[in-house]
Structure 1
């Protein structure tokens, strides 16, 4: 005989099943499952037309759980009887069960858990209805980054719900078996407000209506304090720690039992209150089932339902109860009447209930990903103020090559300290190695870089296997690079530093450069050296300086010391000085062209002076020679051309050798001396000498000297007044030699 339970398939039209037994299991934050034991007289029933179909099970005798709507998960044939009646087992689950059969690797950003559930359910194209949300708190923060990594869609969604302390249950009301999300148990179904307690023996046996016949209490020791701590790299010195402690004790001698949890980027310094909320949530989770009531009832009720027991057997059962887990069974009895076994595990509805958190997948190895920029093909480097980058994982099927496929991911550097360290931001399209903090898929971190067939190595391997290189690239464009290269091939060891543009070297104290071989410095533009202290340059062999353009040296004092110096100037030389003091052991100056000197006043002091020149032409405003010894002039010819010529000699004129063509003179006072002229020819045309007037007037005089020699042993010439006027005088001289023995003065 069948029980009073019917089933229908709204979309397939399959009929002919009789229900003999029903088992219903349900729990908060779980999927319900209804198992039916049915028979059919249709030996050719199409089971493939049943599996996956929507099914409606009506429980006519149940006062509260009257209808369950779901899909057929499985049909199993239990027996095939000769009479043609076959027995089947049909498993009914909510459409959400389909999520247990789908797994994925994907990323959700800036969504709350209920938003995640809606997004995942929506991917099933309507086969999984979106949840009904009873969440009203606007302060619940969206999680910046959440990863489903190899989990079923169901496990991922319900892990997200538990992480945020949200409650999930199914409302089997008139609209069907709706999936409901709630923030507090106060939002759960209140379908059975008051039910009397009727013990199995004694008065009340056979009472009409729903009853509670048995209540068993379970009390247990649970955590009474939760401490959470987190770390925010934006404020590393700040301790993010919060505590939550209960003031209620489940038993008399209950002592403080602390649960400490270190979180991973769940709380930041800017959202410190979130830490207090999580501590409270975890405490409520730990104490949700510290006291439960197992109620045997005459009615079925789904998880999330609430009811109140009238006339409870214990005072602590007084109050509304929340159904945590439900197991209801209806079967045919031996006498043909239905036998009901309903067990509801409840907790006081006034106590907060939080679902236990579900294990998160862990990635204890590493993965690779590619760095992306805000705009593909435009951004070459895209980092935030902390040097973080966004990456695209190979397992991310969105193939989002730009924008925000992930949140910003921190990057490990070779050295990181307070305003010091190594910083090499990953660039767009670089393949990077990803590790995970504590294996958490939500906490990726870049720990390395990789070359691939796209981003090839700057070295030609294996040919350049002895080289190590650190090479960057100009951005944007990539037309230049900076590089440090080390060649370790034996006999060819090399350290190369290449700067594409500028190179700045700053040394705080001393710098020593030792070059064992040659050193060459080439500057394509200007070079400027500034030394605040002293400069010392030692060259053990030679120094060659070649200046293609002008050279200018400015110094306060210059001291130069050479063993020898050879200076050769192809062009002009200009020297300007305030005063010049030169001290030479010997000095030889050779001028191939014109030698021109201009002085204000010139004073020469030294030993003998010997001149050997082709011709000597002096132009001076005045001339005064003072000879401390004898004077000697020797020349093939000698001409003195002057309007006035005066020779003063205090001594005597010893000898003048030569010949006078015509000499006419009158002497007022004279002392004759021997004059010898050797090769002297003097010709005068119009000459007059007036002795007493001491005047010589010469109209024209020509003096040709082919050889002229004056030997003064003792020469004296005294004139009281001499006035010589020369209209025209010409002196041609080939050589003049003056040998001074005594004193020679011309005034």
Structure 2
């Protein structure tokens, strides 16, 4: 068996198996700007027992010499196959792909807060830093907004990164060297590297023609019709009435150049960001128009490299600089074996797709974003028991979130929501909530409801209380609650209202209340009623008012003192106390103006101790029938000036055995066991006739 060596070869293969353990036979591959590359390598070995597993996941590099140096085609061995005996050795096929292909194998669900797209890319790809030296290079010129909330939702790391780069118009390509390749991110053509020497000639020939230098032998140009205008609009709930529409026209010269592509949502927060988005969208559209295709042996030219066309004249191309969008490479090594002259006089040829470097330069949005299929649930998290912002937005943690992160502040659906009025119920820490996503976008969650679970049980045992409809809240930082319950069990229908502390009812106009049967009201402490105008009560049967021990305020005592002061000595004569002992069952009624009381049949008043009546002006009592007055002990009457007593028939005063009778006919009888008439000065007795004894 021959011993293979590649030292003097035009093309060489290097692997982790050691020098010349595998030698290059053929290589075919394609690389694309803002895409991946794949090198399909055929190799020979003197051994048929190579350990394929030792190759997988490691770097392998094909190097091809050219006039300006060496071009490396590095990649990660993703597939390895032993093909058996072939020519003068054993054939092995290897498939090399970028290290980003490894990122296709990892699917993840995670959340990024307040990061730019560049920061997100760097964080995700940091896990693959060992696969490149360096693994990532940034050549971006634009400023990118800080994204409040970005979700990788069931996507591979590679798809997530591609989607974010396409979203912001960032192009990626690969730089190769022996044993490594680097992901290069750019957002302007000027940031892309040039091929060594910057230019390559075009030599137009009919048929095959060979030159010492790298050159193009075929060149063609294509123009295509594209969208000439892009219009976008968005909605930002923080500024709902602000205009969000943005549009931009291109310089398309064809008759349909004003055809517009309209899309919603625009994926921006304000018009300032929107203008950048619409510009990138239009550049991506217009960038599809100019295409140049070439063939040649420009080994050094790959996707993401710039080259200036020289040599023979090509209309609208010679002297211009182009960006390579796609390159296809084919290499055939000279045959291995004694005396072999080689398998092909032209070992390398390539095909290239290019665009002028002054043409619009943005990647197409080809990577579809994930869509959340239906609602899911999450747990409310945050500080304290209730955590929300000025919009009532809350934080949630999804069950799939293994990093223990949380959502952005998420709006909560309410039964009503308007300007200063509507419903407001804020889900609390620990509740399980239903989360939906606007248009299925995982970056746009919204809470639409709450559900019970094994930890959070309903307020009443089920199904025992299945006829109840309940709204019960929990007091903040305590065990109390407010509750409104509807009981719908037949013959036991009831509405129950519980206020843990205060209950306030404010009605700006009228209130009507109708109780068809009984009503009971119990007040544990004080009750006050204020009526701004009239108070009218109609009672069809009896009314009982009982005043028992209570806790009236000091204002009542003050009012009583003013009352006793006004009646003076009458207080003691009536047996009234000097002051009210609060809580002994006192009733005080005050009427600011008039009081009228009408009793249709009879009225009885019983006062256990004293009673005082003070009248500021006149006092009149009218009795239609008989007036009886009974005084158990004594009576005292004091008249400041005059007093008149008028009796229509008989006026009679009886005190034990003494009696005074005055009749309407003028007869006065005074009778007693002993009568004494005494005058300090004079006693005068006049009459038509005076009878003595």
Do the aligned partners of residues 305 and 566 (structure 1) sit closer, same or farther apart at CA in structure 2, a change above 3 Å counting? same
Pick aligned residue for 2:358 from 347, 350, 360: 350
**Which 10-residue stretch deviates more, 14-23 or 45-54?**
14-23
The aligned residue for residue 415 of structure 1 is 416
Check the 8 A contact 1:437/1:445 in 2, yes or no: yes
Pick aligned residue for 2:11 from 5, 16, 26: 5
The aligned residue for residue 433 of structure 1 is 434
1:330 paired to 2:319: no
1:569 paired to 2:599: no
Q: 3-state DSSP class of the match of 2:130?
A: coil
Check the 8 A contact 2:155/2:370 in 1, yes or no: yes
Q: 1:143-199 deviations in whole A, cap 9, x for unaligned?
A: 111100010000001101111111111112579421111121210111252111112
Do the aligned partners of residues 282 and 629 (structure 1) sit closer, same or farther apart at CA in structure 2, a change above 3 Å counting? same
1:452 paired to 2:453: yes
In the TM superposition, what is the alpha-carbon distance from 1:115 to its structure 2 partner? 1.1
Pick aligned residue for 2:53 from 44, 48, 51: 48
Gaps of 5+ in 1: 618-624, 654-672, 677-747
Pick aligned residue for 2:588 from 537, 552, 573: 552
Pick aligned residue for 1:582 from 607, 612, 621: 621
Pick aligned residue for 1:70 from 59, 71, 75: 75
Q: 3-state DSSP class of the match of 2:246?
A: strand
The aligned residue for residue 283 of structure 1 is 282
How far apart are the structure 1 equivalents of 2:222 and 2:65? 33
How far apart are the structure 2 equivalents of 1:312 and 1:576? 129
Q: 3-state DSSP class of the match of 2:541?
A: coil
How far apart are the structure 2 equivalents of 1:332 and 1:108? 48
The aligned residue for residue 723 of structure 1 is none
Alignment of 1:646-665 (within 5 A): 646-653=683-690
The aligned residue for residue 114 of structure 1 is 118
Q: 3-state DSSP class of the match of 1:491?
A: coil
Q: 3-state DSSP class of the match of 1:122?
A: helix
Pick aligned residue for 1:147 from 145, 148, 151: 151
In the TM superposition, what is the alpha-carbon distance from 1:211 to its structure 2 partner? 0.7
In the TM superposition, what is the alpha-carbon distance from 1:80 to its structure 2 partner? 4.1
Do the aligned partners of residues 523 and 324 (structure 1) sit closer, same or farther apart at CA in structure 2, a change above 3 Å counting? same
Do the aligned partners of residues 130 and 484 (structure 1) sit closer, same or farther apart at CA in structure 2, a change above 3 Å counting? farther
In the TM superposition, what is the alpha-carbon distance from 1:338 to its structure 2 partner? 4.5
The aligned residue for residue 530 of structure 2 is 530
How far apart are the structure 1 equivalents of 2:185 and 2:210? 38
The aligned residue for residue 172 of structure 1 is 176
Q: 3-state DSSP class of the match of 1:117?
A: helix
Q: 3-state DSSP class of the match of 1:415?
A: coil
1:473 paired to 2:477: no
Do the aligned partners of residues 299 and 65 (structure 1) sit closer, same or farther apart at CA in structure 2, a change above 3 Å counting? farther
Alignment of 1:119-518 (within 5 A): 119-124=123-128, 126-127=130-131, 130-137=135-142, 139-172=143-176, 176-192=180-196, 193-201=198-206, 205-249=209-253, 251=254, 253-263=255-265, 266-268=267-269, 271-300=270-299, 301-311=301-311, 313-318=313-318, 319-332=320-333, 335-357=343-365, 358-373=367-382, 375=383, 379-400=384-405, 405-475=406-476, 477-518=477-518
How far apart are the structure 1 equivalents of 2:435 and 2:98? 38
Do the aligned partners of residues 484 and 426 (structure 1) sit closer, same or farther apart at CA in structure 2, a change above 3 Å counting? same
The aligned residue for residue 30 of structure 1 is 35
**TM-score after normalising by structure 1:** 0.80
Q: 3-state DSSP class of the match of 1:115?
A: helix
How far apart are the structure 1 equivalents of 2:647 and 2:63? 140
How far apart are the structure 2 equivalents of 1:278 and 1:343? 33
How far apart are the structure 1 equivalents of 2:468 and 2:631? 59
Q: 3-state DSSP class of the match of 2:24?
A: strand
How far apart are the structure 2 equivalents of 1:103 and 1:80? 39
Q: 3-state DSSP class of the match of 2:598?
A: coil
Do the aligned partners of residues 398 and 638 (structure 1) sit closer, same or farther apart at CA in structure 2, a change above 3 Å counting? farther
In the TM superposition, what is the alpha-carbon distance from 1:500 to its structure 2 partner? 1.3
User: Larger radius of gyration, structure 1 or 2?
Assistant: 1
Do the aligned partners of residues 616 and 20 (structure 1) sit closer, same or farther apart at CA in structure 2, a change above 3 Å counting? farther
How far apart are the structure 2 equivalents of 1:573 and 1:453? 68
In the TM superposition, what is the alpha-carbon distance from 1:24 to its structure 2 partner? 2.1
How far apart are the structure 2 equivalents of 1:423 and 1:434? 17
Do the aligned partners of residues 542 and 309 (structure 1) sit closer, same or farther apart at CA in structure 2, a change above 3 Å counting? same
In the TM superposition, what is the alpha-carbon distance from 1:595 to its structure 2 partner? 4.5
How far apart are the structure 1 equivalents of 2:449 and 2:211? 74
In the TM superposition, what is the alpha-carbon distance from 1:613 to its structure 2 partner? 6.8
Q: 3-state DSSP class of the match of 2:391?
A: coil
Q: 1:434-488 deviations in whole A, cap 9, x for unaligned?
A: 011111000000000111122211121111111011111111x232211111111
How far apart are the structure 1 equivalents of 2:653 and 2:80? 135
The aligned residue for residue 694 of structure 1 is none
How far apart are the structure 2 equivalents of 1:612 and 1:341? 150
